[in-house]
């Protein structure tokens, strides 16, 4: 017991205990920052892959297999999944996105715009955090969607 009190009175012992407590907190914060960086990188990779698929559809028209291949190739050997697959639909552009309309409509409701053929590309990339706890709540997958008018 005497040794314990001597350890607590010693400034070197206090500095070691303080370093142990502060070091653990700094390590947890650093791992959290690295996890957030990896999450942002995964999100950017998914968005880039979806943009590549939409670009392919814009240049070459609708081909679900080829669009999926373009998305997968753009992921740079990452595990991007194209699910659900690319879809083609007839729609009208609005201020909040693209609204689906019946094929054969001649005008978009409330505007002078003409409806067109759109392609929607979806992709998701899995995300595994380094530090998995209830303190940091991360998604298990990052999803991205892109819609492009092809006609």
Q: What is the pLDDT of residues 32-57, one digit of tens each?
A: 888 888 889 888 888 999 999 999 99
Instruction: Report the range out of 21-35, 46-60, 109-123 with the highest average pLDDT.
Output: 46-60
pLDDT at 99: 73
pLDDT at 135: 66
Model pLDDT for residues 122-136, shown as the tens digit of each residue: 999 888 888 776 666
Q: Phi then psi for 95, rounded to 5 degrees?
A: -70, -20
pLDDT at 9: 61
pLDDT at 50: 92
What confidence tier does 1 reach under pLDDT thresholds 50, 70, 90?
Answer: low
- pTM of whole model > 0.75? no
User: What DSSP assignment string belongs to 10-35?
Assistant: SHHHHHHHHHHHHHHHHHHHHHHHHH
What confidence tier does 29 reach under pLDDT thresholds 50, 70, 90?
Answer: confident
Residue with tokens 């670009």: 55
Quote the strand ranges of the chain, DSSP E.
Answer: 87-94, 97-100, 116-126, 141-149
What confidence tier does 101 reach under pLDDT thresholds 50, 70, 90?
Answer: confident
């Amino acid at each position: 017991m005497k040794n314990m009190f001597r350890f607590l009175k010693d400034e070197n012992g206090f500095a070691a205990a303080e370093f142990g407590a502060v070091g653990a907190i700094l390590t947890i914060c650093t791992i959290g920052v690295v996890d957030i960086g990896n999450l942002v990188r995964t999100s950017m990779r998914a968005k880039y892959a979806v943009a590549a698929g939409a670009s392919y559809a814009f240049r070459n028209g609708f081909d679900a297999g080829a669009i999926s291949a373009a998305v997968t190739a753009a992921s740079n050997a990452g595990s991007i999944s194209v699910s659900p697959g690319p879809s083609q639909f007839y729609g009208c552009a609005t201020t909040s996105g693209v609204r689906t309309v019946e094929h054969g409509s001649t005008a978009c409701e409330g505007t002078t715009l003409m409806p067109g053929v759109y392609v929607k590309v979806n992709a998701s990339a899995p995300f595994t955090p380094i530090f998995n706890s209830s303190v940091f709540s991360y998604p298990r997958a990052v999803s991205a969607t892109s819609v492009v008018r092809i006609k």
